Amino acid sequence: MKNEQPVVLIGAGLSGSLLAIFLSRRGYKVNLYERRPDMRKHSLSAGRSINLALSERGIHALKAVGMLDEIMELAIPMKGRMIHGKDSSLSFQPYGIKENEVIWSVSRGELNKKLMDLASLQPGVEIFFTHKCTGIDLTSGTVHLENPNGEAVNVTGQTVIGTDGSASALRMDMMKAGRFNYSQSYLEHGYKELTIPALPDGGFQLEKNALHIWPRGSFMMIALPNPDGTFTCTLFFPYSGTHGFDDLNTEEKVLAFFSSEFPDAVPLMPNLTQEFFHNPTASLMTVKSEPWNYEDKVVLLGDAAHAVVPFFGQGMNCSFEDCVELDQWIEKHPNNWLECFQAFSKSRKPNADAIANMALENFIEMRDKVAHPEFLLRKKVEQQLEQRYPQHFISRYALVSFSTIPYHIAQEKGAVQDRLLDQLCANITEVSQVNWEIADQWFQGIN
Ligand SMILES: Cc1cc2nc3c(=O)[nH]c(=O)nc-3n(C[C@H](O)[C@H](O)[C@H](O)COP(=O)(O)OP(=O)(O)OC[C@H]3O[C@@H](n4cnc5c(N)ncnc54)[C@H](O)[C@@H]3O)c2cc1C
């Protein structure tokens, strides 16, 4: 496979930039084409997914290319969820039981810039900005692009990898080729990003080391910390209805709504109404596709193959894990893109489906369940299980966020564990009332 021809990558987002590093380390020339201008020289548009939660799978991928330390300089640990009640009460729910079980808030833009910097330094990697892919001729593997002058140009390589995100241009042509399964489903909720500014001395107005959630049943707001003392808030809210973006169409309505639903946040958001009307409302969707490759000509990876809703904080982590896994298949099939792509697509797809489904379920957990006493009790019982039976019990959240166990196994184990939790939590109101004999017997059964 290592001929003089480059591997053509489309999309220098998070996964494209990281994959370029993996490929270069295996000795490939990489030509990476990105639709946007170089974000290291042009500012990013505000209001679009400003920070992301990085967890074990993403960390593992960054470690694999020796980039973890540089990225972690940009990251803030979040040890748990800080739940904000409608009465302005606060309660903290830790994510894990061990000190290192935290997730990390990172700026999406800074992370992307750093990965581009690191990719550009790798031997054989060249990034072409303002080159928009308009499609691909699948039989020859020729990629059609529009260059910065708006002219059509064609490029070829030894193969093509689509890291061009959830609206992938390459995927569109794979759909036209037939025998390609595809589904796309939008949530009825969209999202809008808002800001809690820093204190005058650069300090944080809320607890720094937490992911803040204002769960309100059918909708929610969250806030993640940034290194400059600000928080990026995201309102996940239906597009229409009495409680919907459509209805919040005047400054008065926005202020009244926020004051009633998020009373403790409003005094911290001096630019609330300006930002609300200035920042875009963006949609959220799940994309599933199969197979991810067309013969040996092209393979999709990251959101291009499987966009997931953000409620498990795993879209980027999963995409980074894709890069690790594709790299492993390249190692196993060093001279055969076809076998490599087929194996990658086949083994990875059940995991992408599993995290897509778990992310949808987690939306209900975040916006609704976290505020209910039964859920809090269940979480406490779950933590006790982790402490009492460390050999046997790791919560589904921990399997997804703090391990690299395949997502589909985390999902299966989670379903089994739910049955145990159902039994342990039936008819009790406090952890002290749990009948641990049930758990003892359960775990004896699996020995
Ligand atoms: C609100 C929100 C919050 C999120 N929070 C988290 C989180 O906490 N944790 C997490 O792990 N994930 C999170 N995600 C998901 C995460 O952002 C994505 O999964 C991740 O960005 C996917 O990376 P990617 O490289 O596949 O796609 P992208 O990052 O979208 O990159 C695609 C790149 O391709 C380029 N491109 C697109 N079309 C073309 C074209 N035709 N030609 C050339 N270039 C093109 C784009 O400009 C872009 O640079 C969140 C997403 C959203 C929307």
Mean pLDDT of 127-134: 98
Position 204 pLDDT exceeds 90: yes
CA distance linking residue 207 with residue 225, whole number of Å = 9
56 CB near ligand 1 (under 6 Å): no
> Domains of the chain, with CATH numbers?
7-45+108-184+285-362 (3.50.50.60), 372-445 (no CATH)
Kindly report each contact of residues 368-374 with a partner whose C-beta sits within 8 Å and lies 24 or more positions away, as own/partner: 368/215, 368/217, 368/218, 369/215, 370/81, 370/83, 370/93, 370/213, 370/215, 371/83, 371/85, 371/215, 371/217, 374/425
What pLDDT does 50 receive? 82
Mean pLDDT of 233-241: 96
286 CB near ligand 1 (under 6 Å): no
Q: What is the DSSP letter of 266?
A: G
Position 1 pLDDT exceeds 50: no
Q: If you measure from the C-alpha of residue 182 to the centroid of ligand 1, how many angstroms do you get, rounded to a whole number?
A: 19
CA distance linking residue 100 with residue 385, whole number of Å = 18
14 CB near ligand 1 (under 6 Å): yes
| Cβ contact 298:292 at 8 Å | no
111 CB near ligand 1 (under 6 Å): no
Phi-psi sector, 313: left (phi>0), alpha (psi -120 to 50), beta = left
Mean pLDDT of 396-424: 97
321 CB near ligand 1 (under 6 Å): no
Q: Which of 44-48, 203-207, 217-221 has the lowest mean pLDDT?
A: 44-48
The tens digit of pLDDT for each residue in 19-34 reads: 999 999 999 999 999 9
What pLDDT does 360 receive? 96
Mean of all residue pLDDT scores within the chain? 95
Q: Which of 93-97, 391-395, 401-405 has the highest mean pLDDT?
A: 401-405
Q: Which of 341, 293, 302 is nearest to 164 (CA)?
A: 302
162 CB near ligand 1 (under 6 Å): no
Class of residue 411 by CB neighbours under 10 A (exposed 0-12, middle 13-18, buried 19+): buried
Q: If you measure from the C-alpha of residue 381 to the centroid of ligand 1, how many angstroms do you get, rounded to a whole number?
A: 36
Q: If you measure from the C-alpha of residue 319 to the centroid of ligand 1, how many angstroms do you get, rounded to a whole number?
A: 9
In this prediction the pTM is: 0.96
More confident residue, 64 or 369: 64
Mean pLDDT of 296-320: 98
Mean pLDDT of 415-434: 95
Mean pLDDT of 272-283: 97
The tens digit of pLDDT for each residue in 73-99 reads: 989 999 999 999 999 999 999 999 889
What pLDDT does 251 receive? 97
13 CB near ligand 1 (under 6 Å): yes
Q: If you measure from the C-alpha of residue 16 to the centroid of ligand 1, how many angstroms do you get, rounded to a whole number?
A: 10
Cβ burial 188-210 (10 Å sphere, 16+ → b, else e): ebbbbbbbbebeeeeebbbebeb
The tens digit of pLDDT for each residue in 209-230 reads: 999 999 999 999 999 999 999 9
